Structure 1
Amino acid sequence: MAETTGRRVPKHHGLSAKTLRSLDHASGRLASASVAVMERRLVWFGRLPADQRASVLLITQAGAAGFVDWLRDSKEALKLTTEAFRDAPAELSRYISLRQAVSMVRLAIEQFEEQLPEFAASEAERAALIEGILRYGREIAFAAANSYAAAAEARGAWDARLEALVVDGIVRGDAEEAVLSRAAALGWDPASAATVIVGNPPSEDPPTVVFEVRSRAARVGRPVLLSVQGSRLVIVIGGPTEGGVKERETLSRMSAVFADGPVVAGPTVPSLAEAHHSAAEALSGLRAVVGWPGAPRPVRSDDLLPERALSGDPEAERLLVELVARPLEEAGPALQRTVETYLESGGVLERCAQTLFVHPNTVRYRLRKAAELTGRNPTEPRDAFVLRAALTVGRLARGRGLW
């Protein structure tokens, strides 16, 4: 097989060397004509800055030159196409979407298809050129799609790493500014309320975990940040602070993404800047929840205060004093003594009344008052345990001079 200009004579397209040289010389004109059509027919293209339109022109010129190389050796078609457009999609994807890039390719191919026949020396060459540009356009479309997909995967991987950094910063209590700036880069509203929920990951495959969590969050209608940290999955759930049934339903539905085992939710805090407090309490609860075999799923960290205090969590001790022991003491000795006596009597109302020398209705009234003050009903077994633990912790704290 002879060679004239250092390139192979075409074997498969039936084009003469003269036609190929003419196409070489006209590649710049074809590219300029294609860009001109884009400016007329694509409204968004005309709004691009001049430097970006110039970049599109250079990319189109590279594509036109690549078409001639493709015609010379169709066996190297995919390689040549990929090389010609290797840098183009990476640059385009910064300011042009995949849908817009496909529109540009379509217009460029249409323009080439209109002008290529004038370079053909015969009807056979005309048909070969038309067929060639259609096949080349297909290769370009696939190359662009693959490059945009690769760029999207790279951005997704970067977002996942950034998200993991944000969640890790929340767990470790990093500088507030660093966490908020990274979260803002992920589209998180820093002023949004946040609740941290922790448990076992549903899979050892990180992409599977991400897919399941985001799918569930989409159904719940809440933004989330997540990170798998060893054997635990940490999820930050965003959204307005809600109470009652709605909040319990949201947490219950999100807990379904965790594997078997306990799931603990920290308190809802007003903003992401305070999410560390929610994370710290949720993780403390996860360590202590083994002490309550019948704990619901999910369980709030505030409902695990006795187990957390027994495991050595000073914050749990403080909360037991602040939320339970102190309100009972400040309400007066009669109320506190009634609760203590009722608990010591094994929850027998009449025995408590006899011990205190009061009417059973008086005991009932005082117990209701204690429930209003602390949110813990002494007649409920679990709440009775919390009250007993709080009163014990309060006495110990007073004995150490901490209260």
Structure 2
Amino acid sequence: MSGRVSNHPPSEATLRRLERASGRLATRAVARMDEQLPWFRTMPADQRSWVVLVAQNGIASLVDWCRNPDKPPRLTGEVFGAAPRELVRAVPLRHTVDLIKTTVEVLDENVDSVAEPDEAEALRIAVLTFSREVAFATAHVYASFAENRGAWDARLEALVVDALVRGERSEELPGRAAALGWAAMSPVVVVVGGAPAGVDAHSLVRRTARSMRAEVLVGVHADQLVVVLGGSDDLDTVAEKLSDEFGPGAVVTGPVVDGLSRAAESAAAALAGLRAAPAWPGAPRPVAADALLAERALDGDPLARTALNERVAVPLQAAGGEVLETVRAVLAGGGNLEASARALFVHPNTVRYRLRRAAELTGLSATDPRGAWTLQVALALANLGKDSSLWH
């Protein structure tokens, strides 16, 4: 575009009249917005004042452009420079288009009263041509803001996920997540696994999670993909669906916690589970970190050892010697109830009753391979503890 509005641009007298009328025209435009745009009426006073200022700047920039038709327009700074960041945050693009349209309509309606005699057509052409330039400037402002906001959001998201991986339990985490649009929500769970190669894992995970109406934060650390999920009543189903987006290998879900401020606990368990997962080659995908307590304990995870002691060893000890003795006998007998009953000199139904009691206390069955394995590790670790005398 050459920059000329017409062969006969408005005269200096018309432009001076337009300058003097700029405040009145801007006020009329805002009044029209208030009348025709319901969302505009709900805007706070400070945001409405920005709109008035931008409208006045737009008219002033039109005058300057008409006076210098060969000068390339610099509308981004001249029109939106007064409040670009605040205005873009407060007003979505479709609403800004409505504001520009309304302002142009008011200018066009008042051309005859502003222009000098025989110059109305020249001023009208200038207004319409200039409005097109404003539209391009608007698109540029919003595109630049979106690009900058996207880069900022990516950095902030990486900081939040990195803090969780490092085990931070800062009260600032929910505030940082809120800046990303993550509302205060519960429950929350962390899912970890291998990062896929050659694809944009962030976009894939985000698309899948949001298709299931779940909020998500994503981070890649070395070769690990870390995903924080929230906002769904069925996070297990979301995690199962998301496991398809991870790279080869195990995918581990941490325990569900009641908010982002405790998500570091879920992340610690999930990462410990991922380190220990190779010890269970047949593990499902995804697998819960709590299902890997035995492997995690053998890998030296103190949280897993504490959990096994509190959830398995201590309840069995508190239940009395008969329950603990029966569990040990069944484990030693490879799960054969009849052989265990003979060794204990009791009826097989007594063995079954005691095993049901043990399962109620621990959530583990001594006749199930995984349950038996976890019970064996828990009792072995208890025997290695300081109070091992209690177990003899």
Same fold (TM over 0.5): yes
Is 1:119 the equivalent of 2:139?
no
What is the SS of the residue equivalent to 2:217?
strand
Question: Among residues 374, 390, 393, which one is paired with 2:378 in the alignment?
Answer: 390
Distance 1:402 1:19 in 2: 102
Question: Among residues 26, 51, 62, which one is paired with 1:67 in the alignment?
Answer: 62
Distance 1:285 1:334 in 2: 33
User: 2:105 aligns to what?
Assistant: 110
Shift of 1:50: 5.7
User: 2:281 aligns to what?
Assistant: 293
Paired amino acid for 1:296:
P
User: 2:148 aligns to what?
Assistant: 154
What is the SS of the residue equivalent to 1:42?
helix
User: 2:203 aligns to what?
Assistant: 211
Contact 1:202 1:209 in 2 (8 A): yes
Contact 1:212 1:257 in 2 (8 A): yes
Distance 1:185 1:171 in 2: 19
Pair 389,314 (structure 1): closer, same or farther in 2 beyond 3 Å: same
Question: Runs of 4 or more off by more than 6 Å in structure 1?
Answer: 400-403
Pair 158,11 (structure 1): closer, same or farther in 2 beyond 3 Å: closer
User: 2:315 aligns to what?
Assistant: 327
Paired amino acid for 1:295:
A
Distance 1:51 1:171 in 2: 41
Pair 133,338 (structure 1): closer, same or farther in 2 beyond 3 Å: same
Shift of 1:126: 5.0
User: 2:220 aligns to what?
Assistant: 228
- Contiguous gaps of at least 5 residues in structure 2: none
Pair 126,147 (structure 1): closer, same or farther in 2 beyond 3 Å: same
User: 1:252 aligns to what?
Assistant: 240
Contact 1:196 1:266 in 2 (8 A): yes
Shift of 1:191: 5.8
Paired amino acid for 2:163:
G
48-57 vs 352-361, greater mean Cα deviation:
48-57
Distance 1:176 1:162 in 2: 15
Contact 1:28 1:64 in 2 (8 A): no
User: 1:307 aligns to what?
Assistant: 295
Is 1:177 the equivalent of 2:165?
no
Contact 1:28 1:61 in 2 (8 A): no
User: 1:350 aligns to what?
Assistant: 338
Shift of 1:292: 0.8
Distance 1:402 1:15 in 2: 103
Is 1:198 the equivalent of 2:186?
no
Shift of 1:83: 4.1
User: 2:229 aligns to what?
Assistant: 237
What is the SS of the residue equivalent to 1:134?
helix
Paired amino acid for 1:224:
V
Pair 209,402 (structure 1): closer, same or farther in 2 beyond 3 Å: farther
How many aligned positions are there?
385
Q: TM-score, normalised by structure 1?
A: 0.84
User: 1:4 aligns to what?
Assistant: none
Distance 2:41 2:340 in 1: 85
Distance 1:239 1:92 in 2: 30
Shift of 1:375: 1.0
Question: Among residues 23, 32, 36, which one is paired with 2:28 in the alignment?
Answer: 36
Paired amino acid for 2:328:
E
Pair 380,166 (structure 1): closer, same or farther in 2 beyond 3 Å: same
Pair 64,224 (structure 1): closer, same or farther in 2 beyond 3 Å: same
What is the SS of the residue equivalent to 1:195?
strand
Pair 370,50 (structure 1): closer, same or farther in 2 beyond 3 Å: closer
Instruction: Report Cα offsets for 1:214-261 as digits up to 9, x if no partner.
Output: 222222222223322222222222247x6xxx4532321232332232
Instruction: Report Cα offsets for 1:65-102 as digits up to 9, x if no partner.
Output: 3224434565654x433342351533422433323321
Shift of 1:370: 2.0
Shift of 1:346: 2.3
Distance 1:270 1:108 in 2: 49
What is the SS of the residue equivalent to 2:385?
helix
Q: RMSD across aligned C-alpha pairs, in angstroms?
A: 3.1
Is 1:367 the equivalent of 2:340?
no
Pair 402,337 (structure 1): closer, same or farther in 2 beyond 3 Å: closer
Distance 1:71 1:189 in 2: 48
318-327 vs 164-173, greater mean Cα deviation:
164-173
User: 2:85 aligns to what?
Assistant: 90
Paired amino acid for 1:140:
V
**Identity score, percent:** 43
Pair 28,234 (structure 1): closer, same or farther in 2 beyond 3 Å: farther
What is the SS of the residue equivalent to 2:189?
strand
What is the SS of the residue equivalent to 2:250?
coil
Pair 31,104 (structure 1): closer, same or farther in 2 beyond 3 Å: farther
Contact 2:218 2:228 in 1 (8 A): yes
Q: TM-score, normalised by structure 2?
A: 0.86
